[in-house]
Structure 1
């Protein structure tokens, strides 16, 4: 029964069925399925879609649809994880957000979803995030990686501002910084002192793995 429920949960995500994902997540809780296994099912499903996107077999709407289904089911599974005290090894911790002045979220959300699927604990701050808010989140969550996005050329300098703020507060060496977004290039990332840049969501996951080391670490 548990295996069937997990397979249906995965299928709902792969088929972009948000209502189905929520329903099967609740079913998993009712059947007392190990919440870690349920979370693994969700991440396996989104990884499958992400891999298809990376190979050019699927398109952005496919990835968005799968991400929406996964995100709808996640709170149900995460609540059960907290209730039962179950633990899941994390690859690392990431704080992510679109910089101040930028309200575009699709690319950032895709990266956050794929990072979650890869095993990272992601704290998505959202959009239009000021430098001080990034700093506060780093102090609170103590992440391995800070991931910032900027779609617009006019908002890209905010990434430099965040990095400069971290330097002024003596926090720059405590966190790796990866940047992305339509306005960002490798040259720009290097010029502001970021630790890495990749133009694609799947590529950003590979970058994050390299920044923390393939083995990752437990820190939840």
Structure 2
């Protein structure tokens, strides 16, 4: 029994290490994007001169849209892993405290635990999915990342010499909202699905 408890404690420690790793990777992704965003806004007015082409703003915004999308997907994926490892820590803490060491019992406990977690996430109201600092960071990053989409539409309309300012503004806002809503929906789906997965580290068969 003691060896089984020691094994579970070692798995518990590994889960905590993975949690720290996910937090570090998240911070690195955010720092990277903030540097890119700073360069984007800082050099936007001179990009045509730097690249010596009237199409430079278009390419600049397209690249920025791709980088923004990859960053949001990365943050959502890291958040999902963070939630999964957090659930693993909670599950392991629960069975260790109750001294459940039989493999069959652990498997049954795991199935029941993750079913409850999944049901809770699926039933959670939309506004509560973005509670907590980490989820709000992703929300804020998503809102910021939609700006290049609006700027791309603006640049296209300028090239086409579109003169209707009110309609142009509607197009820009529409592009921004489509981008933001798409990635918000994607992030919500990732967060909701996090409860379905029994992380490999606690999958004892």
The structure in which a higher percent of residues are helix is: 2
The structure in which a higher percent of residues are strand is: 1
Greater relative contact order structure (CA < 8 Å, 6+ sep):
2
